[in-house]
Structure 1
């Protein structure tokens, strides 16, 4: 079928973007289910992480699955994959929607003299920098829900949206990673699980209209937003960036649509291209059906052709050259095969990192634990920052903050973040994450004091 997405730019012109294919994607590769109904007593949840074990099996735990710590291998179904990138029928980099030299255009991403736009971010070696080149750090939270079948941030059944955003702001976080699904962009998607008595202004909004409103409210408080393509539909995570129901072309087209929609809105600073590539995902192999690096370059270049000032956030994979790690956490391949984008100084690598309580990885039982962690992190993803290759943003890490090994891991990770000036988005705000719980307790209001005592010293100032 065809799906139609209404877009608007800052020029107040309306565009109609068509993406052919059925976006009601069900994925072939998931042991998790994030489709919890949002009720006032909803408690199911998970971290959004998954564990690559020493024998290649996986522990499943996406964003709100109540049995998130179940361990097992994922089922693999052959999907209709991307074709040879040299094929002229494949999607090419789109021409920019506006001409920066056109004085009638005010939705452009850069100024006419080539300077960076205030509010957007860029990179310089291992640093993320503002438009004047000053180093900054992203220190934020994940707030999930848009990617589930509520098509709305979770917790709005308990509190007004402005009150939650005010609390996030007051706690000192400066960015939100917002998981979404491609299904959210479809016409007719209706948010639910919202107490409209406390959120009367949200009544009647579509999913993407609510996303617009969320971004506007975050921006009004000086919070930045990273959009995270967390899953193809509202029900399951996918191993690869495409599925039998969501082609690579559609995945890229959706990113182009989102980039165009928020062109010129400096609240939205980047795109986390695909959450936790794993299973058959490879790095640098040249196989267009599995090579995540190749796909990330295609999608990243398509986005940068529209807005050359978005950060392109690229996660790792699960397995590389016999080394297994958390889903999305293995960036060893980037040493020999780094991501190369058409626009320089916009690439950020983003591993996911979890503790023993999420899955008992072998390194948690090493005789030199937790002293072994810094070396493991360096070899798996930290070298990118330590060696000045590119910035690292830890896109997910979290814990219930109870297991003794978790507490050792938490202390070691905090030291590593500070030692190397790393950015991060903590998993998560939501208390209904089964693997980790959240910054908030089950009432969606009380702060977990232990977690904030741990994270507080890691927080950076508001972003310009």
Structure 2
């Protein structure tokens, strides 16, 4: 059976050599390394908008691209997770003009959404920031449980082909350091059961190996699912299956697992209940260890907490963020905060509604876990 032959660390199941081209990153055990051998962590923010009807990251109606990225860097972040939908990859797709000011950003005038992505990546490169591309949705309307919306037979290859195109487009530019294959598999998504229509682990292997055939230096970021063997967690967050069924790629040192984690104000998960008896928030590290942290603690593979955020409106949320920030730092994990944007209904942003003023209470709790720029 699969579990008997696959179990082990990423290094034990991948083929080839872990290293990569100059500027790119690779993994060994639970750590991420630069091409010079220095251990690094990705610690950044999500900047959303490409994935929805705006077809461009929000904020460019208020500020210049350069000033936004300068502020991201000045706050101590070293990367940006950039959600997108496959819609923006099509020819003739342009930003919604209501969500971008060409007076403020004249250099973006006339560019397609994909060409704006090019400019964001170039501007990030100029500042030493890294980019993780996140396939957030198959189209601009809503998320999907699986890596396809309706029919795997007709949609999976298009998903893979789009990833191959992006891998070719940015090949040789280590600013784009990783690819998050699909945001928040949930619902019908399974892990390790061999069902080609639902087994997210197998789909991630198919896509990951196709991407690495185009650019063998990229980190392949694989999120968890929602339900595994009766254990429920946040969408995209449950990595329990990766212990017995690790993702196997053709290039060593490329798998990074990803989880998402949110506070009580987003949804009242069981671990937020009965606080006096559970010792909240002291119970949280145990929840994280069991669901995704074990991958790092057992030196199996790195974990990238691709989304977490809160408006800090209740004490429980403040305790959650403080505990999570300490856990991430203490275990040497990578992460990206949801979000830079203030216009996230559930979490708010690192920036306030004017797109300039920092939510200092939030930033103060996150800052101790930040890592330096990546060489």
Structure 1 length-normalised TM: 0.75
Relative to its length, the structure with more helix (as a share) is 2
User: How many angstroms does 1:266 deviate by?
Assistant: 1.0
Residues 342-361 of structure 1 aligned to structure 2 (within 5 Å): 342-361=250-269
Deviations 1:259-291 (A, max 9, x none): 000010110001000000000000000000000
SS in 2 for 1:293: helix
Q: Report the more deviating stretch, 415-424 or 286-295.
A: 415-424
Higher Rg of the two aligned structures:
1
Q: Does 1:228 align with 2:134?
A: yes
Residues 302-313 of structure 1 aligned to structure 2 (within 5 Å): 302-313=210-221
Q: Does 1:241 align with 2:147?
A: yes
Residues 55-134 of structure 1 aligned to structure 2 (within 5 Å): 116-134=20-38
User: What is the CA–CA distance in structure 2 between the aligned matches of 1:449 and 1:393, rounded to whole Å?
Assistant: 24
Which of 193, 211, 214 aligns to 2:117? It is 211
User: What is the CA–CA distance in structure 1 between the aligned matches of 2:65 and 2:121, rounded to whole Å?
Assistant: 11
Which of 178, 181, 184 aligns to 1:276? It is 184
Deviations 1:16-75 (A, max 9, x none): xxxxxxxxxxxxxxxxxxxxxxxxxxxxxxxxxxxxxxxxxxxxxxxxxxxxxxxxxxxx
Unaligned runs of 5+ in 1: 1-112
Alignment correspondent of 2:204: 296
Contact 2:18 2:252 in 1 (8 A): no
Deviations 1:140-196 (A, max 9, x none): 000001111111110111111111111111111000000010011011101121111
Alignment correspondent of 1:436: 347
Q: Does 1:140 align with 2:48?
A: no
The alignment of Structure 1 onto Structure 2 pairs a total of residues equal to 352
Which of 57, 68, 72 aligns to 1:168? It is 72
Alignment correspondent of 1:53: none
Deviations 1:350-392 (A, max 9, x none): 0000000000111101321211111110000000001100001
Contact 2:18 2:254 in 1 (8 A): no
User: How many angstroms does 1:410 deviate by?
Assistant: 1.0
Alignment correspondent of 1:393: 304
Structure 2 length-normalised TM: 0.92
User: How many angstroms does 1:235 deviate by?
Assistant: 1.1
User: How many angstroms does 1:132 deviate by?
Assistant: 2.2
User: What is the CA–CA distance in structure 2 between the aligned matches of 1:151 and 1:303, rounded to whole Å?
Assistant: 24
RMSD: 1.3
User: What is the CA–CA distance in structure 2 between the aligned matches of 1:295 and 1:129, rounded to whole Å?
Assistant: 26
Which of 325, 333, 339 aligns to 2:247? It is 339
Alignment correspondent of 1:32: none
SS in 2 for 1:188: coil
SS in 2 for 1:129: strand
Q: Does 1:150 align with 2:54?
A: yes
Alignment correspondent of 1:186: 90
User: How many angstroms does 1:115 deviate by?
Assistant: 6.3
Q: Report the more deviating stretch, 145-154 or 350-359.
A: 145-154
Which of 219, 225, 229 aligns to 1:317? It is 225
User: How many angstroms does 1:116 deviate by?
Assistant: 2.8
User: How many angstroms does 1:114 deviate by?
Assistant: 10
User: What is the CA–CA distance in structure 2 between the aligned matches of 1:381 and 1:114, rounded to whole Å?
Assistant: 23
